[in-house]
Amino acid sequence: MKFYITTPIYYVNDIPHIGHAYTTVAADVISRYKRLCGYQVFFLTGTDEHGQKVDKAAKERGKTPREHADSMIDNFKNLWKKLNISNDAFIRTTDERHIKIVREILQKLFDEEKIKSRSYSGWYCVPDERFWTEKEIMGGNCPDCGRPVEHIEEENYFFEMSKYQQQLIKYIEENPNYILPETRKNEVLGFLEKPLGDLCISRPKERLSWGIPLPFDENYVTYVWLDALVNYYSATKYLAPNGEEWWPADQHLLGKDILTTHSVYWSTMLMALDMPLPKKIYAHGWWTVNGEKMSKSRGNFVDPHEFINKYGVDAVRYFLMREVPFGLDGDFSAIALRRRINSDLANDLGNLLSRTLNIIKKYREGKIPPEIDSKDNEMKSEIKGLLSGPTSARAFDSLMGNLQFHYALSFIWNIIGKMNYYAQNSAPWREKDKDILSNTLYTLAEGLRIIAVYIYPFMPETGQEIWNQLGINEKIDENKFKEVIEWGGLKPDTNIKIGRQLFPRVEEKIEISDKGAMAESAGLSEEKQLISIEEFAKLDLRVGEIKHAERIEKSKKLIKLKVDIGTEERQVVAGIAESYIPEELIGKKIILVSNLKSAKLMGVESKGMILAAGTNERTVIATFEADVKPGAKVK
């Protein structure tokens, strides 16, 4: 089985920021998981080195465009190394073999009369390297980037893209997973409702010399986007492993700002060439800062090196994949990153490993104890089922296959939470029965071994470190996922090797830039108002058990719940979809405000409200430490 995934190729006119890291880490997570599942993976990334922006940046630095590109690519290569990116190839659009393939494709289109020469008069945006019509510009500015456009009249070459408009619409409608998520597909179909013009694929050399010369007219160079898009195909001809056929790509991964170029320009070009289209194009959201798209010109540039150096590579990788459902926009916050580290990584995962290994060291002389099956219990069976059961493996595979990284990690952390609960309530340090103690310690250690496999695609260093400390002298990536998550892989009498603390807690120092956000998240700006006991008594708080949960279509925050409150089953809508997946909510005991007037949210009726706490970054529902019956009054 083969799997071919790409990131966009990144412009070399600037240094990479956290947005570039986001796309590339996501592609790396998919690649590592697919390799664990037995796929032969081709993971491609690289740099886009032609065009007017690169030419301009080079002149500003007093360099030739090639010198500028050569000096900039290490910014990307060094960051990918620092982020543990496992790409198989790095393509540059200045590669001679790439240039040769671009020219061959252009010549084929020209020979088949799918490229025509004509005069053109229109408005041109230099930063975006794109023409706009009179109707499209907004107050003399580019409708995309907002910067001034200039009027240009010149002879140029055009790819007859308009001929493929209906064919592309039909293809998208017949292949509903071609463009994801659903909202992006609808955006493209909306764009295609208007007449699709032809694509100008050339720039006169007298205006721009830095580009690939057209094979049929050396007085022109190739439009940078056409040159760049071809990289996905050209790389398969000279960079792919084993000389095998890798086209079409299984997954193009990109930011939503370049969706049109990939879904329309690239798709119609491939149709004109009678070549297969990529299987999926997935356009994710942006990381914003204070609600604005990140860019150096806006002064809100987030340097990933700073956060990796400060908090560690796996903490940054985890945060990027966990904080926001993939596909949606998310606001980058150092406060949210620190909270994730302290809560999820230090408190939940780090403490679970430390507690387990130290008890094994103290009570079992540092050796993994045997498992005594006859002493199994309900919690242990649940942990085993969640970790190594076929249903759980399929659920996790589905989440990963659909790029639902946020929910895949939520699935894992749900199990980690159950293991911490098991460790706390079984209190192995007080257990006198040797069989029960062995059972408990083996369950925790074996659970950690499997958890390490689940988190490995997201946090490869951490996953491997857990194995090392459990005394396992193997590499996780040398195993197959379905085989290695089977229960019982940890051998009794293995000597543990307690090592470094996985994730030390981060001291919460309030920086000047954080104060506003801290005050807002803590509710410090609101004046406290006291209420009487009589007013509080008006609330009818009841224990509820969640029986069913499902996401509400077209909403990124809302989940529809069916809640048993003893006397009846209530339908409740809760804004917790960014913190929980529906499946993990089933069976949870919650607190319901049962005498709240019903309301409609997104057209769905809600009869009550569940209690929860948290911030914009994370919401946690209020639940119970011990078992309580649905319908019991909360006092």
- Between 268 and 206, the more confident residue is 268
> Residue 316 and residue 610: Cα distance in Å, rounded?
32
> Residue 516 and residue 582: Cα distance in Å, rounded?
33
Instruction: Assess contact for 31 and 42: CB atoms under 8 A.
Output: no
Question: How many CB atoms sit inside 10 A of residue 247's CB?
Answer: 16
Using one digit for the tens of pLDDT, what is the confidence trace for 268-296?
A: 999 999 999 999 999 999 888 766 766 66
Q: What is the DSSP string of 68-105?
A: HHHHHHHHHHHHHHHTT---SEEEETT-HHHHHHHHHH
- pLDDT confidence band for 548 (50 / 70 / 90): confident
Q: Which residue has the tokens 């008594």?
A: 537
**Domain topology for 533-621:** OB fold (Dihydrolipoamide Acetyltransferase, E2P) (2.40.50)
Which among 598, 608, 615 is positioned nearest to 543, based on CA atoms?
Answer: 608
Q: How far is CA 219 from the centre of its chain?
A: 43
Mean pLDDT of 441-452: 96
The pTM of this model reads 0.79
Which among 601, 444, 5, 8 is positioned nearest to 256, based on CA atoms?
Answer: 8
Pick the CATH number of 2-284 from 2.60.40.1930, 3.30.2310.20, 3.40.50.620, 3.30.1280.10: 3.40.50.620
Using one digit for the tens of pLDDT, what is the confidence trace for 16-32?
A: 989 999 999 999 999 99
Instruction: Assess contact for 313 and 87: CB atoms under 8 A.
Output: no
> Residue 179 and residue 177: Cα distance in Å, rounded?
6
For 135-187, strand residue ranges (E) read 150-159, 179-180
In the chain, which residues fall in CATH 3.40.50.620? 2-284
**pLDDT for 522:** 36
Task: Among 255-264, 379-388, 398-407, 625-634, name the one with the lowest average pLDDT.
Answer: 625-634
Which two three-digit tokens encode residue 65? 């465009």
Q: Within a 13 Å sphere around the CA of 67, how many CA atoms are in the beta-carbon half? A: 8
> Residue 555 and residue 8: Cα distance in Å, rounded?
28
**Domain topology for 328-484:** Isoleucyl-tRNA Synthetase; Domain 1 (1.10.730)
Average pLDDT along the chain: 88
Q: Provide the greatest CA pair distance for the chain.
A: 89
Q: Within a 13 Å sphere around the CA of 9, how many CA atoms are in the beta-carbon half? A: 26
Mean pLDDT of 289-313: 80
Task: Among 314-328, 484-498, 611-625, name the one with the lowest average pLDDT.
Answer: 611-625
- pLDDT confidence band for 523 (50 / 70 / 90): very low
Question: For residue 40, what is the enclosing H or E element?
Answer: strand 40-48
In the chain, which residues fall in CATH 2.40.50.140? 533-621
In the chain, which residues fall in CATH 1.10.730.10? 328-484
Report the relative pairing of strands 609-610 and 287-289 from DSSP bridges: unpaired
SS3 sequence, 542-564?
Answer: EEEEEEEEEECCCCCCCEEEEEE
214, amino acid identity: L
Which two three-digit tokens encode residue 185? 């597909």
Which among 586, 519, 578 is positioned nearest to 546, based on CA atoms?
Answer: 586
Question: Does residue 494 carry a pLDDT above 60?
Answer: yes
**pLDDT for 434:** 79
